[in-house]
Amino acid sequence: MLQYFLKRVLYAIPIALGVSLVCFALVHVAPGDPLASVLPPDASLEMQQLMRTIYGFDRPLPVQFALWLWRAFVGDLGVSIATGRPVAGEVWHAFGNTFMLAALAAAFGFLVGGLLGLLAGYYRGGWIDRTASTLSIAGISVPHYWLGMVMAIVFSVQLNWLPATGAGPGGSAAWSWDWEHVRFLILPALTMSAIPLGIVARSMRALVGDILSQEFVEALRAKGLSERGIFAHILKNAAPTALAVMGLQLGYLLGGSILIETVFAWPGTGFLLGNAILQRDLPLLQGTILVLAMFFVILNLLVDVAQTWLDPRIKRA
């Protein structure tokens, strides 16, 4: 197990390096001088010269990459053009908000989707199956930013039950777990849960179908095990794959929150990205994407390891 773990970590290192190379390249594929991304357009010539040396834009690209990577590694992601504040701090703060949102959405989506998928796979062809299939195809097909708008229309504009935008009184700095704040979290979290709900239900249904068609289920029935006991066996067999699907989905939620956070003005990483795009704040864009992508790489690693730990047969050469 330890050997597998080390091997998997070793495999993740080049991926992480590649991911950071892509992030580094973002500023350089952007049209115009990369310097333009760290300076206001009316900067003086001396200022431009100075910044060029400070940022190392006068050095060869590989050296620049190494320097940038080292700085990112020690937690220096540069300075936001728009606010003048360090990017790392902004991202860190926003990441907490996105994590809160994604975790709630994941908890709801996985629970409902998982249950639906389990029942749909078990009672294949019944009404639960049809409901689950419809819900899951709708969940994976719906443009979630539109779903967000519809939710806001129904629950904020028409029914006036829940607020449509923001993170509650005092903004994101004054967050606490009381109803005054939590009610701002409900609509974005519900909207966000649509996709994982659909995907988890879909894969659970297929998974349960596969397991039920295996011979050992027949054997369990033949020896007189109760249906509840068989259900437990199905759960146990489905767990490793289900875990992998869910882990990946959590990563997608964290990385793909931009559209929903824009709709609901939720102050997370997606909102930060949206602002960075509007103001062409490239250091902020680069830093946020680097952090999110790295988190996704690490999450993938953890999921793989956890899956192998649960089911050692998966261990690959």
DSSP-assigned beta bridge partners for residue 75: none
Q: How many residues bind another protein (CB under 8 A)?
A: 51
Q: Is 23 in the site for another protein (CB under 8 A)?
A: yes
Q: How far apart are CA 81 and CA 7, in angstroms?
A: 40
Residues 6+ apart with CB under 8 A from 294: 16, 19, 20
Min dist CB 155 to another protein, Å, is 12
DSSP 8-state symbol, 124: T
Q: Which two tokens stand for residue 248?
A: 């990946």
Shorter beta-carbon distance to another protein: residue 83 or 133:
133
Q: Is 79 helix (H, G, I), strand (E, B) or coil?
A: strand
Residue 95 CA to residue 153 CA, distance in Å, equals 27
Q: Are 43 and 51 in contact (CB under 8 A)?
A: yes
Residues 295-314 interacting with another protein (rule: CB under 8 A): 296-297, 300
From 59, 71, 280, 315, residue interacting with another protein (rule: CB under 8 A)? 280
Phi, psi angle pair for 41, to nearest 5°? -60, -20
Local structure of 86: helix, strand or coil: strand
Among the residue ranges 41-49, 112-120, 229-237, 255-263, the one whose residues contact another protein (CB under 8 A): 255-263
d(CA 104, CA 179): 15
106 or 147: CB nearest another protein: 147
State the Cα–Cα distance between residues 261 and 243, nearest whole angstrom. Answer: 26
Closer CB to another protein, 165 or 176, in the complex: 165
Which parts of 142-161 interact with another protein (CB under 8 A)? 142-147, 149-150, 152-153, 157-158
Which range of residues in 41-49, 92-100, 171-179, 253-261 is near another protein by CB under 8 A? 253-261
Q: In whole angstroms, how close is the CB of 229 to another protein at the nearest point?
A: 30
Q: Going by C-beta distance under 8 Å and a sequence separation of 6 or more, which residues neighbour residue 122?
A: 208, 212, 231, 234
Within residues 52-81, the interface with another protein by CB under 8 A covers: none
- Residue 293 within binding range of another protein, rule CB under 8 A: yes
Contact residues for another protein, defined by CB under 8 A: 14-15, 18-19, 21-23, 26-27, 29-31, 137-138, 140-147, 149-150, 152-153, 157-158, 251-252, 254-256, 258-259, 262-263, 273-274, 276-278, 280, 282, 285, 289, 292-293, 296-297, 300
